[in-house]
Amino acid sequence: MVEVVPASVALEPAVALLEAGDLVAMPTETVYGLAGDATNGAAVARIFEAKGRPRFNPLIAHVASIAMAEEIASFDPLSRKLAEAFWPGPITIVLPLRAGSKVHPLATAGLDTVAVRMPDGFARELIGRFGRPLAAPSANRSGRISPTTAAAVADDLGDRIRLVVDGGPAPVGVESTIVKVEDGQVRILRPGGISAEEIEALIGAPVLRQTGKGTIEAPGMMTSHYAPHASVRLNAANVRPGEALLAFGPNRAAGAGKAIAVRNLSERGDLREAAANLFSYLDELDRAGAGTIAVEPVPIAGLGEAINDRLMRAAAPRDLDRT
């Protein structure tokens, strides 16, 4: 059985498991991660196995310092500026793998780049103590909602892992923003906890968005993802019989009183609060037994971009290919 241990006393047991090539579910400021030694092929294989994740989907290497990042990746000046401004924090930077990098090729899916992030709080402390980068995808089975609480991890993966570190609800609530610098420009491969506007304010130039569906730059960005069991209906102006409602802001969709369950992402229309609540509310509405979750419109500015991205994936047609 899985043990759920408060972060205050989890450092030693977590390090011991990682040293043994085993996995630890750890809190980060974005979502809970399923962590293993990024330099140990067997540990990385265990991550894929526990998630049921397609092997070609590479993992983020989490580091405790810029010095640790430099052991595995090469920084251009703009990437370094992003790291210095936003780390520790919810941004992942895709960088060329450094020659001699000890990150196992299974973790990078054989690419010549590596996605690097310095998380905040317990995760960073754990990596610092362990002394090597941790590969960590979100701690959910492939295709399901990312967990923002220890209980959600235990529910989804409890039969496959030994330790969940409980650091309370994840404060950001959506995954990190993934960026890549190309020809001196910042491109967003996945919207997330740092908004495009924040990056633009730092660099004084517009960022580029992921375009088209031809090439999947962040290979995990398949269309159906973050899927609850219920189907999801976006931009709902009304609630149909039998639906649950995911609301946003002070005004309700028509027929909201008939919804079988209602959660409001943010009563006062605050996008940060909405991001923090997104995955746990989808999960709660799912558990209410709705066939469909109707979702009120959420504005696209700031963190709304990441929220709408996750909602669109939750609503996308499902197939066996989802991860």
Q: Please identify, using beta-carbon distances, which residue of 57 and 264 lies nearer to ligand TXA.
A: 57
80 is in an annotated binding site: no
149 is in an annotated binding site: no
Return the SS3 of 153: helix
217 binds ligand TXA (CB under 6 A): yes
Q: Reduce the DSSP state of residue 254 to 3 states and report it.
A: strand
CA–CA gap between residue 241 and residue 248 (Å, rounded): 20
Applying CB under 6 A, does 221 fall inside the site for ligand TXA?
yes
When the beta carbons of 79 and 138 are compared against Mg ion, the nearer one is 138
User: Which position's Cβ is nearest ligand TXA?
Assistant: 220
- What is the residue whose two structure tokens read 């780049």? 113
To which H or E segment does residue 135 belong? strand 134-135
d(CA 227, CA 323): 10
Applying the rule CB under 6 A, the residues between 156 and 175 that interact with ligand TXA are 175
Question: Whose Cβ is closer to ligand TXA: residue 103's or residue 265's?
Answer: 103
Alpha carbons 216 and 110: distance in angstroms, whole number: 15
Place of tokens 């969709």: 253
Whole-number Å distance between alpha carbons of 221 and 55: 14
Least CB distance from residue 123 to Mg ion, whole Å? Answer: 15
Question: Any idea which residue has 């991660």 for tokens?
Answer: 33
The mark string for 77-106 relative to ligand TXA (x by CB under 6 A, - otherwise) is: -------------x-x-x------------
Regarding 195 and contact with Mg ion (CB under 5 A), the answer is: no
- 225 labeled part of a ligand binding site: no
**In whole angstroms, what is the distance from residue 323 CA to residue 310 CA?**
13
Cis ω for the linkage preceding 58 (within 30 of 0): no
Site string for ligand TXA, 32-61 (x = CB under 6 A): -x-----------------------xxxx-
Q: Does 278 engage in binding with ligand TXA (CB under 6 A)? A: no
How many Å apart are CA 154 and CA 114, to the nearest integer?
Answer: 29
Sheet holding 177-182, edge to edge: 3-6, 163-166, 24-26, 33-37, 134-135, 60-62, 113-117, 91-96, 177-182, 185-190, 208-209
Residue with tokens 């397609």: 54
Tell me if 30 is assigned to a ligand binding site. yes
Binding residues among 113-152 for Mg ion as defined by CB under 5 A: 138
At its nearest, how many Å lie between ligand TXA and the CB of residue 292? 25
Nearer to Mg ion, 133 or 137 (CB): 137
Minimal distance, residue 237 CB to ligand TXA, in Å? 32
CB nearer to ligand TXA: give 256 or 275. Answer: 275
Q: At what angle do helices 271-287 and 150-157 cross, to 10 degrees?
A: 40
Annotated binding site for ATP: 53, 57, 113, 138, 146, 190, 226
Q: List binding-site positions for L-threonine.
A: 30, 62, 117, 136, 176
The binding site for ligand TXA (CB under 6 A) comprises: 28, 30-31, 33, 57-60, 90, 92, 94, 108, 111, 113-115, 117, 119, 136-138, 175-176, 178, 189-190, 217-221
Write out the residues near Mg ion by the rule CB under 5 A: 138
Annotated binding-site ranges: 30, 53, 57, 62, 113, 117, 136, 138, 146, 176, 190, 226
